[in-house]
Amino acid sequence: MASPVLKLIQCSNLGGMEQVTFRLLRALNGDGYQFRIMTPRPFGAGEQYLKAVDSQTQAFEYRGRFGWRSHGTFLQGVQQRARDASAAWVTGTDVACLRAIRGIHGIPKILSHHFHHFEDRLSPLKWRLFYDGFCRQLDYIAYPTEFTRAEAVRIAPWLKDRTIVVPYGYDVHFDDDEHFEELKRSARSRLGISQDAFVVGNAGWLIHRKRPDVFVTTARLVADRIPHAHFVWCGGGPLENVIKKQVADIGLSDRFTFTGWINDLVPYYQSWDICLFNSDFDTLPCTPTEAATHGCIVVASLVYGGLSEMIENEVNGILLNSHDCQVLADRITALASDESSRKRFRMAASRKLKENFSMKKMIETYGHLLRGN
């Protein structure tokens, strides 16, 4: 590509949206694309990943509600770096980013949208105002699931011809069960986890929507039945002290590991037997899908979201639409003693990932969008 792409990203933390973006930018950069990257917020822990693609990546202050006090400075920076750009690509539903590209004309403008729409009764109105106020300028809006695209079109029907579903892209990192077991042994040695433990893990924000309380309650039920079970949470957040106290109160502190935020989750995914994921709302949560790429069996409960486009209940994992801790614990306990079901789920998840969530397809689709075709 002769001219670089102007890339605006909402933030540079290590959440699922950011991790997908970092991976996609690296892949496209290796495929011949160049990027001018900017974020309207101060750098987070993902700064190194952005600068690996664009050493001149810029971050700005974010003062006032929606960063409005800093919009002028950010806008000036965007206008300067937008010169000769071949496309403008925004990741995240950030008002500052969308306002900043409003005056750019003659090139494709794309938004990667990663959030659900119906979290509370005011959400439809908020999203309608967002789409009408900031998205009519866009050529394409890409959603990771049909679930979320359909929500958007329901709110703003005029979006229909501008929307596209681009599933998150992943590579599968194991070939068969023997390879999976080999990787698991190596990861556990590296992390100091007993080879004999039955490990249940999760990764993400310790916030109410991600329901760490459900994880802990389910863990207590599993621990009563599987003496060698151990539990891991990678991540942090405002509920960290509350959840740690909950674990201590039920006497499981010696069987729980809280790692804090981890830059490289690969050895953790490889070391787990089960990824126990719970959430009230999620478009397409990355943790269970990423875990599945490493052969970890997903047991999940999601009240509202698009995870069913990846996890098919009793086909390639377990997926409930309610947080029934007893049922979650029953299924985990059953899987612990059912090696044939674990193998069946593992290989079925591998096939689904390769068919519907390949990195190659994601790269090709975004390449078409950035070229305006």
pLDDT per residue as tens digits for the range 229-279:
999 999 999 999 999 999 999 999 999 999 999 989 999 999 999 999 999
Domain assignments of the chain as residue spans, ordered by start: 5-169+359-371, 177-356
Listed in sequence order, the residues at least 6 apart from 41 whose beta carbon sits closer than 8 Å to its beta carbon are 10, 11, 12, 59, 60, 62, 67
Question: Residue 253, SS3?
Answer: helix
pLDDT per residue as tens digits for the range 290-323:
999 999 999 999 999 999 999 999 999 999 999 9
Which pLDDT score, from 0 to 100, does residue 2 have? 56
Question: Residue 304, SS3?
Answer: strand
We find that the CATH architecture of domain 5-169+359-371 is: 3-Layer(aba) Sandwich (3.40)
Task: Give the torsion through C-alpha atoms of 170, 90, 366, 210, to 10 deg.
Answer: 20
pLDDT per residue as tens digits for the range 49-81:
999 999 999 999 988 887 888 889 999 999 999
Same CATH topology for 5-169+359-371 and 177-356: the answer is yes
Overall average pLDDT of the 165-194 stretch: 95
Helix, strand, coil percent values for the chain (each to nearest 5): 50, 20, 35
Asked if residue 7 has pLDDT above 90, the reply is yes
253 is written with which tokens? 């502190």
Listed in sequence order, the residues at least 6 apart from 197 whose beta carbon sits closer than 8 Å to its beta carbon are 188, 228, 229, 230
Residue 312 CA from chain centroid, whole number: 18
pLDDT per residue as tens digits for the range 82-131:
999 999 999 999 999 999 999 899 999 999 999 899 988 999 999 999 99
- CA–CA dist 61, 67 (Å, integer): 8
160 is written with which tokens? 């229909």
Which pLDDT score, from 0 to 100, does residue 64 have? 85
pTM, full prediction: 0.89
pLDDT category, 373, cuts 50, 70, 90? confident
Overall average pLDDT of the 281-288 stretch: 92
Closest CA to 140 of 67, 184, 87: 87
What kind of fold does domain 177-356 have according to CATH? Rossmann fold (3.40.50)
- CA–CA dist 254, 34 (Å, integer): 48
- CA–CA dist 203, 194 (Å, integer): 20
pLDDT per residue as tens digits for the range 346-370:
999 999 999 999 999 999 999 999 9
